[in-house]
Amino acid sequence: MKKVFIKTYGCQMNERDSEAVAALLAARGYRLTDSETDADVILLNTCSVRDRADQKALNKMASLAHLKRKRPAVVLGFLGCMAQVRGVGLLQDLPGVDLVVGTQRFHHLPEYLDRLWAARQPIVDVAAEAGSESAVKDHVLDVNGNQRVTAFVSIMQGCNMQCTFCIVPATRGPERSRPIPEIVEEVRQLVSVGVKEVTLLGQIVTSYGRMTGGKSEFVKLLTAVHDVPGLERLRFTSPHPKGFGDDLVQAYRDLPKLCEYAHLPVQTGSDRILKAMKRGYTRDSYLRIVEKLRTARPGIGLGTDIIVGFPGETDEDFAATLALVQEVGFDQAYLFKYSPRRGTPAADLPNQVSREVKEQRHRILLNLINENVARKNAQRVGATVEVLVEGRSPKNPARLFGRTRTNHGVVLAGGDDLRGRLVPVRITRANRTTLYGELT
C-alpha cells in the first residue's frame, strides 16, 4: 500500500483542501502517514500570501529533492496557491518535482498519481475548472480513526476584491459559490457521523452567492445550515468587514448556534492607508461594525489581521493603527509585515517601507496586542463558560482540549467520554494563548 505525506502551509482553506485530498487518496487505497521518511508520495500544499510562506515551501522542497537522490521512486508534488502562481517554473527551479497542481484541480490527484506510477513524466496542471468549488467535499477521520467533533466546510472559492496588497485573487481565481442545498447536505452528513460544530470556509464568505443570488445569500446560507438538527455550533471565516450589513448583524441575534466570534480583518487603522489598500471601509465605519456586533451579542470575541509597513505608511498612520487596536481590544490578532507580491498594485508603489521600520512597528504592535489579549484573558478567570470538547490536548495528551463559543482554546482535566460534548467549565487560570479550567 502506497503511503502519502501531506504538509500544509497557510490558511484554514488550505488545511481543508489538504483534508479533502487526504480523504480522496485514502479512498483510492493510499495510506496517510505523518512521517515523510517512509512516504511514497510527498505533497506540499502551499501558501503565497507572503514571501516567507513561499520561501518555507521552496526550502522544504529543496531538501526533499535532496532526499530523492537516495530514493528516486518517491513522488514530490506542489499543490495549491504557490503551484497556481509559479506553475511550470517550479519544475525548472527544483528538478525532482513530479507534480504541480493548482487550486482548482486538487481532485485530479489520484489520476495524476496513477499516471506517474505508469510513467515518470512531470505533470503541471494549473488550469481553471468550472464547478471546482463543489469538488472539495470528502472528509477524513482524525488520527485515531474517530470522526472529528469539528469540521470545515468549504462554501466558495476565490475572491473578487482588489485589495492592492493581496495575491489571493490570482491564486484562487474569481468568486464561485456552492449551492445552499449541497452545503446543507454536507453538513447533515457530518452531523450524522458525530460532528457538532462546523466552520463555513471561503476567502471572502460574506460575498457568498453574490454573483448568483442577492445581497443576503450568505445570511440565507447561515440560516439554512443553522437549522440542521443535531448541529450545535456554527462558525465562519474569513469574512470582509464590508459584509457585516444589518442582516448579518441581525443573524448574531437570531441564530443561537452561531458562535459569538467574528474575525474582522482591519489591516490598518489609518484611513489614508485603507484607501491605498482599496479596502472599501473607513476607520469609522469599521468601528461602527464593531459596536453593532457588540450590541447584538454582548461579549462577542473579535479577531483581526493587521499589516504593518504597507507602502507609504508613516509614523502617523501607524499611530492610528495602535490607537484602533487599543480602542477595540481584540481577543485575537494576527500581525503581518507587508510583503510585496509580484503582480499586485502595492508591490509597484513608491515609498516602500524599510525592513527596519517594518520590524520596529511589528515589535511595538505585537507588544500592545499581547498585553491586551493577556489582560482580556485574565479577566475571564472565575467565569463559567460552555466548552465543546474536541479531544485530547495536542500539547498535553493527559488533558482535554476544547473551545469556548468565543473561540478561546481551553485545556481541562477529564476522560475521553467528554469528547464531542458541550460542558460547563470554570476558568481557573489564563495566559495569552490558552485558558485553563475545570468542569463544574
What crossing angle do the helices spanning 283-296 and 315-328 adopt, rounded to 10°? 10
Q: Which of 241, 265, 402, 437 binds ligand 5AD (CB under 6 A)?
A: 265
Nearest Cα residue to 75 out of 177, 25, 3: 3
Residues 136 to 195 in contact with ligand 5AD, rule: CB under 6 A: 165-166
Q: What binding mask, one character per residue, do residues 17-46 give for ligand 5AD by CB under 6 A, x or -?
A: ------------------------------
**By C-beta, is 54 or 197 nearer to ligand 5AD?**
54
417 CB burial (10 A radius; 0-12, 13-18, 19+): exposed
Looking at the chain, how many residues does it have?
A: 440
Q: What binding mask, one character per residue, do residues 216-255 give for ligand 5AD by CB under 6 A, x or -?
A: ----------------------------------------
Q: Which residue in this structure is represented by grid cell 460532528?
A: 195
Binding flag, residue 338, ligand 5AD (CB under 6 A): yes
Q: Least distance (Å) from ligand 5AD to the CB of residue 247?
A: 23
Q: Which of 103, 157, 267, 321 binds ligand 5AD (CB under 6 A)?
A: 267
Q: Which helix (H) or strand (E) holds 223?
A: helix 217-226
Q: Least distance (Å) from ligand 5AD to the CB of residue 383?
A: 30
Q: Least distance (Å) from ligand 5AD to the CB of residue 432?
A: 20
Select the span of 54-62, 82-90, 126-134, 331-339 touching ligand 5AD (CB under 6 A): 331-339
Nearest Cα residue to 61 out of 38, 87, 28, 94: 94
Binding flag, residue 358, ligand 5AD (CB under 6 A): no
Q: Which of 205, 307, 365, 425 binds ligand 5AD (CB under 6 A)?
A: 307
DSSP 132-176: GGGS-------TTSPPPSEEEEE-EE------TT--HHHHH-S-E
Size of the site for ligand 5AD (CB under 6 A): 12
Q: Least distance (Å) from ligand 5AD to the CB of residue 151?
A: 21
| Residue 405 DSSP one-character state | T
| Residue 193 DSSP one-character state | T
Residues 6+ apart with CB under 8 A from 125: 100, 101, 102, 105, 108, 112
Binding flag, residue 361, ligand 5AD (CB under 6 A): no
Q: Least distance (Å) from ligand 5AD to the CB of residue 374?
A: 22
Q: Dihedral sign for Cα 174, 180, 184, 185, please.
A: negative
Binding flag, residue 50, ligand 5AD (CB under 6 A): yes
Binding site for ligand 5AD (CB under 6 A): 49-50, 165-166, 265, 267, 305, 307, 336, 338-339, 341
